[in-house]
């Protein structure tokens, strides 16, 4: 069933576990994530980046496809549909109008004052529509982005001045693969949790060792974003399938060949994060 992210993450916060937010790239991915989560009785967040929205055809396609799958597959576990890294107020509004239940406004590249004021604009619109908002302070690292650690005082300001529901404080994580061991500042994470009281979000969930993820949960992380890990699991299985079955051209078995690898990864992560069996 479609559920607000507030309900999903408030329960996670109260019971000290984290819910995975898996990035959706197409219909197959949405189906595999929903079915694996139903099997493991896990609340789940299906998040879609702006580039994936464009790839799929638009905000309505993404939101309504997930909603239709939840209905036709008779998914009973709580499912939130979240816009990952919304880059503009306008795109957040479009996602809300299309049926997303939560949006992230990513103003991390903007000066603080502008990040706060634009986030506030998104919050005003979102809350009128029963939709929740995540914001980012500091900068998550990645191929084209250097890591900037979140300042706790700036975190308090954005929470108090914009009225967001969840906060992603960047504290050393990166999108994509880590070069060497990740270094995430969980002491500051705890400080930000205590100062803000909000469920916190960890971006760049791929490649973070299990014990580090568990430390993150103890420090206030309630949502862990995972994308690259599923991409690797799916594409490796698909590549093997195509190599082993040179004569196949029906797209359905080809697209489906990554299903088991993805579902195994999802169930493993749900167990690790403690959300396995937490659907009710």
Catalytic residues: 84
Burial (CB < 10 A; 0-12, 13-18, 19+), residue 61, is: middle
> Taking a C-beta distance cutoff of 8 angstroms, is the pair 184, 208 a contact?
yes
> Taking a C-beta distance cutoff of 8 angstroms, is the pair 48, 84 a contact?
yes
Q: How far is the CB of 220 from ligand 13P (least distance, A)?
A: 17
Helix (H) or strand (E) holding 70: helix 59-72
Nearest CA among 47, 62, 22, 27 for reference residue 266: 22
Question: Looking only at residues 75 through 94 of this chain, which bind ligand 13P when binding is defined by CB under 6 A?
Answer: 84-85
Burial (CB < 10 A; 0-12, 13-18, 19+), residue 144, is: exposed
Question: Which residue number, 212 or 254, has a Cβ lying nearer to ligand 13P?
Answer: 212
Question: Looking only at residues 201 through 220 of this chain, which bind ligand 13P when binding is defined by CB under 6 A?
Answer: 203-206
Q: How far is the CB of 173 from ligand 13P (least distance, A)?
A: 8
* φ/ψ of residue 266, rounded to 5: -65, -45
Determine if 225 is a binding residue for ligand 13P (CB under 6 A): yes
Q: How far is the CB of 27 from ligand 13P (least distance, A)?
A: 19
Q: Mask: binding to ligand 13P, 162-191, rule CB under 6 A, as x and -?
A: -------------xx---------------
Question: Which residue number, 85 or 139, has a Cβ lying nearer to ligand 13P?
Answer: 85
> What residues line the site for ligand 13P (CB under 6 A)?
23, 84-85, 175-176, 203-206, 225-229
């Amino acid at each position: 069933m479609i559920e607000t992210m507030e309900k999903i993450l408030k329960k996670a916060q109260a019971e000290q576990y984290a819910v995975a937010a898996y990035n959706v790239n197409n219909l197959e991915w949405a189906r595999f994530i929903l079915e694996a989560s139903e099997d493991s009785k896990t609340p789940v967040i299906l998040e879609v980046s702006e580039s994936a929205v464009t790839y799929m055809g638009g905000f309505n396609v993404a939101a309504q496809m997930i909603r239709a799958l939840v209905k036709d597959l008779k998914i009973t576990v709580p499912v939130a549909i979240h816009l990952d890294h919304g880059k503009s107020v306008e795109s957040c509004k479009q996602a809300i109008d299309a049926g997303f239940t939560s949006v992230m406004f990513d103003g991390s590249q903007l000066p603080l004052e502008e990040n706060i004021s634009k986030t506030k604009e998104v919050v005003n619109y979102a809350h009128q529509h029963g939709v929740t908002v995540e914001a980012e302070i500091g900068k998550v690292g990645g191929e084209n982005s250097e890591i900037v650690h979140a300042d706790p005082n700036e975190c308090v300001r954005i929470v108090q001045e914009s009225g967001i529901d969840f906060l992603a404080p960047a504290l050393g994580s990166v999108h994509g693969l880590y070069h060497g061991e990740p270094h995430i500042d969980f002491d500051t994470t705890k400080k930000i949790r205590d100062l803000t009281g909000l469920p916190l979000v960890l971006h760049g969930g791929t490649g973070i060792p299990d014990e580090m993820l568990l430390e993150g949960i103890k420090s206030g992380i309630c949502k862990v974003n995972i994308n690259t890990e599923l991409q690797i699991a799916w594409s490796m299985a698909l590549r093997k399938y195509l190599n082993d079955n040179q004569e196949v051209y029906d797209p359905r078995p080809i697209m489906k060949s990554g299903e088991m690898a993805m579902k195994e990864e999802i169930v493993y992560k749900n167990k690790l994060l403690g959300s396995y069996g937490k659907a009710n």
